Amino acid sequence: MKARVAILISGRGSNMAALIDAATAADFPAEIATVISNRADAAGLEKAAASGIKTKVIESKPFGKDRAGFEAVLQRALDEEKVELICLGGFMRLFTAEFVQRWYGKMLNIHPSLLPSFPGLDPHGQALRAGVKISGATVHFVIPETDAGPIVMQGAVAVADDDTAETLSQRILDIEHRIYPEALRLLASGRLRLEGDFCRIAGDTERGGTLISPRTI
Ligand code: GAR
């Protein structure tokens, strides 16, 4: 049985599209049961519908600071679709500690930096202002703190002197689209185990390569 996944979005939905695409493979251990947006104008909604995925809008704005009220409606929608796992894909709304606790170990987020560096807004600008030579993307389990939680997978890219937030974000986005489906595959196939602040992976993994940046010539 494939794990039933909800993807929560607020905008473009390119990570959502990468997850939907990966889940079309017969051997992928998860199926995208629904895409839920907290904004009616999220461009990702059309993409999801075009892929034949059920979509739902639960506008968060009318709830204002009433996070629990919004989450009660969201939880009902998740229950209706028998959702077992949640992937946040650019979902720009903070959760209460109660909601996060309810989904602890079952809710992933992706952030375009090598966490714990540069959480929050404008991570690409933060990376450029810090002058790092390597940045990347992180998939992690969601905890009450924003852009924090046990790290599942990271991918790195070299940062060039002439990078702008736009050029860097595009290269990191390519990495995001590769690692998010892989992280979901690991979670849905039961290979991830949480040990306190750490996420451990069962079975074989490749050690991967080395990235040195800049490379001198
Ligand atoms: C992605 O780059 C994602 O990593 C980021 O929002 C973008 C959404 O793009 N998430 C965060 O910054 C979370 N703090 P998408 O809608 O095209 O997937």
**What CATH number does the domain containing 87 carry?**
3.40.50.170
Distance of CA 187 to the CA centre of its chain: 13
Which of 76, 103, 130 terminates a domain? The answer is: 103
What's the domain range around 203?
110-211
**CA pair distance 110, 55, nearest whole angstrom:** 20
H/E run at residue 127: helix 123-130
Instruction: Evaluate the omega torsion of the peptide bond into residue 123 and state whether it is cis, within 30 degrees of 0.
Output: no
128-166 burial string, b = 16+ CB within 10 Å, else e?
Answer: beeebeebbbbbbbbbeeebbbbbbbbbbbbbeeebeee
Q: Are 135 and 168 in contact (CB under 8 A)?
A: yes
Residues 73 and 155 in one domain: no
pTM over 0.95: yes
140 is catalytic: no
Name all residues whose Cβ lies below 6 A of ligand 1. Answer: 9, 11-16, 44, 89-90, 110-112, 147, 173, 176
In a domain, 216, yes or no: no
The CA 183 to ligand 1 mean position distance, Å, reads 15
Is 87 in a helix, a strand, or coil? strand
Residues 47 and 129 in one domain: no
The CA 143 to ligand 1 mean position distance, Å, reads 17
Residues 70 and 117 in one domain: no
pLDDT tens, residue order, the chain (217 aa): 999 999 999 999 999 999 999 999 999 999 999 999 999 999 999 999 999 999 999 999 999 999 999 999 999 999 999 999 999 999 999 999 999 999 999 999 999 999 999 999 999 999 999 999 999 999 999 999 999 999 999 999 999 999 999 999 999 999 999 999 999 999 999 999 999 999 999 998 888 889 999 999 8
Which of 103, 125, 140 terminates a domain? The answer is: 103
Is 186 in a helix, a strand, or coil? helix
Residues 7 and 90 in one domain: yes
Residues 157 and 79 in one domain: no
Residues 138 and 171 in one domain: yes
Which of 103, 134, 154 terminates a domain? The answer is: 103
Residues 139 and 74 in one domain: no
Q: Whose CA is nearest to atom 7 of ligand 1?
A: 90
Q: In the 8-state DSSP scheme, what is residue 187?
A: H
In a domain, 187, yes or no: yes
